[in-house]
Every structure is written in C-alpha cells, then in structure tokens.
Structure 1
C-alpha cells in the first residue's frame, strides 16, 4: 500500500498509482492530493489492521511527513523501529560501527551546542540534525574558531524550519557530529525484497562546487556510475541487511566513495526513494524503469538491456534553488522556458511554489558525452538570469 503526503506528489507517481490501482491509505492529505482520480482507497483502520496482521506488507511513502502517521498508528509493527534506526543518524552509526571501527561520531543536543568544547574533536567534521532532510542545518567545521558563528547559523535555520516540516522530519533538538568523509558523493534508490535480497534501482553522482558546498543542485546518473559502483553498493546493503532484517522495504541512501570501490554512508532514508518524487521519476525519464512498480512487484533492472543506446548519455536531476543575493519577495516569477532552452535535452520541468517551499522547482535532463559544460554552468549558477523581478 502507499501512504501519500505533502509537500509534493508527481504526476508520474499519481499516474502509476491509477494505472496499477495500488491501494492508497485514505488519509486526509491523500484525499486532498488525489481528488477526482480513480483510486483504490483503503481506509485508515483497514490499513492499520493489514500492516499489523499481514506479514511483510510492502508499504511505500512519497514523503517524510508520513513518518508521523506511521509512528502514531503502527506501533507494535516493525516499521516505527526501523524508521527510527535509519532516520536517526546517530542510531544508524551505532548499528554499523563494527564495519567502520575508526569512524568518529557523537550525539549532542541543540541546547548544548554553544557550551560544547570541541577542542579534542577530529577536524574537519560535519554537524547536522540527527533527524534531518534537504540539507537543512548541515555545516562543515574546519576550525575551533568557526564554531560560535556556525552554531548561530544553525539556531536560525532550525527556527525557520519549524514552520515548514514536522518534528519527525527535522529534529529540533538532537544533532550528530561526525568526521568529514572525504571522497565523491553518490545517492541511490534501492529496496529489499520479500526474501531480504537487495535491488539497486539507480545510482547518481552528487556534484558539488567545492568541499564546502552542501547544496543539492546537481545529481547525475550514467552507465559508468551504475556499473562501477553496483557491486560495492550491493556489498554495503548486504552488510546492513545482516545487522537489521529488511524485507519489502524501500530506501534512499547517500554515500561517499572514500577510495576506489570503498564507500561510507552519509544517511539512509527509509520507506521511500528520493524526496519530492525526484530520483525515482528520473529513473523513469532516463532508463524507462518505474521504481514504484519495481518495488511492489520485486522486479530487478536488466542493466545490460537498459544501457543499450544510453552508453554516452548522462541523466541529471537539477534543483532550482535561489543561491543569489535576490530576496525571495522581490521575485515575480521564474522563467522555466528560458532555463529549459539552455539544455541539450530537457526531459521534464517540475515547477514548485517558491513562496511556500523555498525552491523554484526541478529540471530533469539528458546530456551527451562531451557536452557536460551545461551541467557545470548550472552547478555554479545563482540562477539570477532566470529570475523575473517585480
């Protein structure tokens, strides 16, 4: 069954639900999102009963916001505990610490940040909410002298975030401090089937402008990336599966490759693929793989067939966020037509309410080998050229 919630459900996911008649829990939010569509509704009481009584019931949610519903209604099942294990970065680090025995991490509360002596910490390190989303309040700390300024930024960011997301999505009190993982960053969608075997659905390279950049501007997938990292990721998933039983369970995971073929996880997001229907939808636009259908039917990609005709292509997910000095209230609208024209093959343009969510939208693209300049330019752009001012 599927749990739907705000902030965003893509047309592609909605069409997939309608076509397959996947059962959708009839929450208030889901009924608002799917109004006037032919939906295979399951009322909340029946949904709760099924999850509690049917072993290994596959459940998918598009949004972190649904975690609150699960925690409130599905106590006594495996789901709340598994969600907490993955969403709480400190607990997850404890789960896998035997596989990474030299990795430094510790938990700390927001109220204790200013008074914490970090002199003996391993520099550089990353501080972020123990339960977090969308790179909110994530900071790299290089020197002890930078600590007071960073704490001040965190306090302001958390206060602003309280109005946007529930506490289950962004913890307002607990943080994790962990050593900075050097290497290239990647993200991937996967699931464990009913036998506990993992399947990888996509792998994307998260590109940054520098080691200080923590933005989500560009993620790119390709034959080269998927083939090179497939086995190291499978080995990692099998290790995780040996620590906690995972069956009929989807995940979105971020990692860094610390040396060729060796990976270290950054965070694991349970019961969903990439937020805002991003990475799963890109997998469809890029490779013709419907990740939602693959999860519910335990299908595995035939990568050899998928890559036929796609050997020299790169498929990217681009976050259109405001990194300029232009105030949000001064922007009349964002010129999506103009930005699409600056790309070789835009696959899909996704518009988002900037005033409500703080981003303009997302762009899905196909780029030919040798034309990566368009991705480099958008990575470094403040997008001001696409902003139409009032």
Structure 2
C-alpha cells in the first residue's frame, strides 16, 4: 500500500502505483496526482487502508505528511510505535545510546535555545528540531557567531516553518543539541525485511561546500560507492536494528563514516526513502525503483546492475534558495542545465511555495567533478529573474 501526500508526488511514483494497481490511500494529493498525470490510481478508503495496514500489508509513504493518518487512523499500534521512535530524534538517540557511548546529546526547549550562552555548549555541536525534516532548522555550531546566527534564524523562520509543514513533520518547540559528527556523510535508502534484516536499495554520498555547511545541495551515487559501502552498511544496520526492532519497514537514513570506518547515525526518516520523491534517482542511475524493491521484498542484484556504469557519478542536486532571495519572477533552468555535461532530468517550479527551485539529476564523469564542485558553492542567484513582488502561486512542474 502507498500513501501519496504533499508536498510533491512525482510522475515516476504515481505511474509505478498505477501500473501495478497498488492500493493507494484516497487523499486529495493522490486524486490530484491522478488528474495531473492522467493515471488511474487504485484508490482505497481510509477504512480499507487501515484494514490493509493492520493485517500486515507493507506501507510506503512518499512524504511524512502521511504520518497524521498513520497516527490517528491506521490502527496499527506497532507501526505507530516504530515510527514515533524514529521521528522523535531524542527517543531515537536514547534507544541507540548504548551503542555509541561517546556520543553526547541533550534536549532543549525553544526558550532554552534562546537563553543558552555559547560558553555553556559542549564543544562543536549540531542543533536541530527533535522532530524535523529536510535539513530545516539544522545548524552546525563551532563558535559564538554561529550560535547567534542560529538563534536569529530560528526566530525568523518559525512562522514560515509552521506554514509549510505540519507539526508531525517539523516542530520547532523541542530541540536536540548533539555532538558534531565528523566524517563523510551518506544518505541511504534501506528497508528491513520480515526478519528485521537490512536490504540496501541505494547509497548517496552527501558533499558540502565547507565544514559549516548543512545544506542539502549535492548528493551522488556510483558503482564504487555501492561496492565499497553496501556490505559494511547492511551489517551496521543489522546491529542497530537489534535495538530498534524494525521489520517490513522502509527508512531514509543519514549517517557519517570516519577514516577508520566507524559509523554514527544522524537520523532515520520513517516509512519513506529520500524525500520529495528524490529516491527516483535510482531509476536514472540503476534502472529500478527503490520503493518497488521494498514493496516486492526484493534485493537489488548489484552484480548485474553495476557493470558498465563505472567511472560515472549519478547526482541529485537540490536547487535550494539562497538566503535573502528576492521575489522570483522566473528561474532560468535552461541556463543552469547548460552548466552540466549530461542532464538526466529536471524538476521545476517549486519556488512559489517552498525553499527551493527544484531538483536536478545529472550524470557526471567521476574523473572530472568540476561541474559538481562549482554547483555546491553556487548561490543560484545568477539564474533568478527577480520581480518586485512574489508571483502568483503555481503548482510544481516536472519535465526536461
């Protein structure tokens, strides 16, 4: 069963659901996706969806906006407990604390954040909402100036966050202060099978412009990344799941790995793979849908998928708006795409409502990363055609 919810349903996911007549919860977002893409979705009522959920039907959500239904209407108490454990970063840290005794964290209320002095912080750390999404409200803190800037941004962003996301997805009233994790960051789409064993569907490396950067700009996967990391990661996930107890469950996991191969989780995002349907990068990189692997209880056959794809990086580029972006009349996607050797797909038109201009999928030679090194530092203002007032609200588009 699939729940299709705002903020975005990709045509790839909607076509997948329609093509196999997968049960889809009847929501306004699902009905709109069917109309937008001319698809006949197998919509089921909330009552019938709850029956499927309670009898053990695997559930995939494209968005954490679906969690409201899960909590209030699904009737599956075990699934709710597992999801609450992952979604609440404080509970998650507490459950895994015995496995990471050197990792420090503590809870802060919003008032505590505003009144705490930098001198009382436990060295380099990260501040983030205990319930959060999409790197919103995530701050890397290494000096007093960064601490002041974080608090100023929280005060300025509070109203906007409440408008864009429900409290079940992003809540700025409770915060988590935790150790700054060093190392290479990875984002992994993984599910846990009926026995609780991990099955990896994709691995993305997440690169940053600098040490203080916490943005979602650049992710990429490659045959080398899959071959190096899939085995160690599945063993690591199996070890963590001895404490988490997940089964028949998908997650998008962010973690960091240091030079000695030690891995520390950043967060487990529940019941979905990469957000905003960005998990569709697997279609462009590897030719299969990650959510299809999960729903079919299938394991990617990497030995047959990877040959012939060596020396390529398959990228997901999040076109996030810069700070103090002027009101946008138009974004020049053609000029942006001209900066890349091979654009696989571009998703356009989110900037009227959200904090980004869209998403870009590219193929880049692994031996020549110049275009990626440039985009990770580009504020994108050169592609913005501004106007004096914001344009009328429009629906995100998807296309070349």
Shorter-normalised TM range: over 0.9
* Aligned with residue 374 of structure 1, among 371, 376, 387: 371
Deviation, 1:22, is: 0.8
Query: What RMSD in Å do the two structures reach over aligned CA positions?
Result: 1.6
Q: What is the 5 A alignment of 1:189-338?
A: 189-278=189-278, 280-323=279-322, 326-327=325-326, 329=327, 331-338=328-335
Deviations 1:115-152 (A, max 9, x none): 33564532101100001111111112223565344323
Aligned residue in 2 for 1:365 = 362
Aligned residue in 2 for 1:47 = 49
Deviation, 1:57, is: 2.0
**Alignment check: 8 A CA contact 2:130 2:174 kept:** yes
Q: What is the 5 A alignment of 1:21-60?
A: 21-35=21-35, 36-52=38-54, 54=55, 56-60=56-60
- Give the TM-score of the pair, scaled to structure 1: 0.94
Deviation, 1:381, is: 1.0
Q: Indicate yes or no: 2:343 matched with 1:346.
A: yes
Distance 1:324 1:87, change over 3 A: closer
Deviations 1:334-373 (A, max 9, x none): 1112222221111111113201112110000011122211
- Between the aligned partners of 2:42 and 2:125, the Cα distance in structure 1 is 47
Distance 1:362 1:145, change over 3 A: closer
- Between the aligned partners of 1:33 and 1:307, the Cα distance in structure 2 is 32
- Between the aligned partners of 2:323 and 2:141, the Cα distance in structure 1 is 23
- Between the aligned partners of 1:300 and 1:126, the Cα distance in structure 2 is 35
Deviation, 1:72, is: 1.2
- Give the TM-score of the pair, scaled to structure 2: 0.92
Deviation, 1:225, is: 1.4
**Alignment check: 8 A CA contact 1:113 1:151 kept:** yes
How many residue pairs get aligned? The number is 385
**Alignment check: 8 A CA contact 1:340 1:346 kept:** yes
Deviations 1:77-106 (A, max 9, x none): 212211111111111111111110111101
**Alignment check: 8 A CA contact 1:232 1:262 kept:** no
- Between the aligned partners of 2:313 and 2:29, the Cα distance in structure 1 is 36
- Between the aligned partners of 2:352 and 2:2, the Cα distance in structure 1 is 28
Deviations 1:245-283 (A, max 9, x none): 2221100000011233221111110100011100x2001
Secondary structure (helix, strand or coil) at the match of 1:355 reads coil
Distance 1:150 1:388, change over 3 A: closer
Distance 1:142 1:33, change over 3 A: same
Aligned residue in 2 for 1:172 = 172
Q: Mean alpha-carbon deviation: is it higher for 114-123 or for 353-362?
A: 114-123
Secondary structure (helix, strand or coil) at the match of 2:233 reads helix
Distance 1:344 1:89, change over 3 A: same
- Between the aligned partners of 2:208 and 2:145, the Cα distance in structure 1 is 25
Distance 1:324 1:155, change over 3 A: closer
Secondary structure (helix, strand or coil) at the match of 1:259 reads coil
Secondary structure (helix, strand or coil) at the match of 1:377 reads helix
Q: Mean alpha-carbon deviation: is it higher for 342-351 or for 154-163?
A: 154-163
Secondary structure (helix, strand or coil) at the match of 1:367 reads strand
- Between the aligned partners of 1:40 and 1:139, the Cα distance in structure 2 is 42
Where structure 1 has 5 or more consecutive residues not aligned to the other structure, the ranges are none
Q: What is the 5 A alignment of 1:146-185?
A: 146-185=146-185
Aligned residue in 2 for 1:2 = 2
Secondary structure (helix, strand or coil) at the match of 1:332 reads strand
Distance 1:33 1:94, change over 3 A: same
Deviation, 1:223, is: 1.4
**Alignment check: 8 A CA contact 2:50 2:75 kept:** no
- Between the aligned partners of 1:252 and 1:369, the Cα distance in structure 2 is 25
- Between the aligned partners of 1:357 and 1:121, the Cα distance in structure 2 is 32
- Between the aligned partners of 2:187 and 2:315, the Cα distance in structure 1 is 12
Deviation, 1:38, is: 1.1
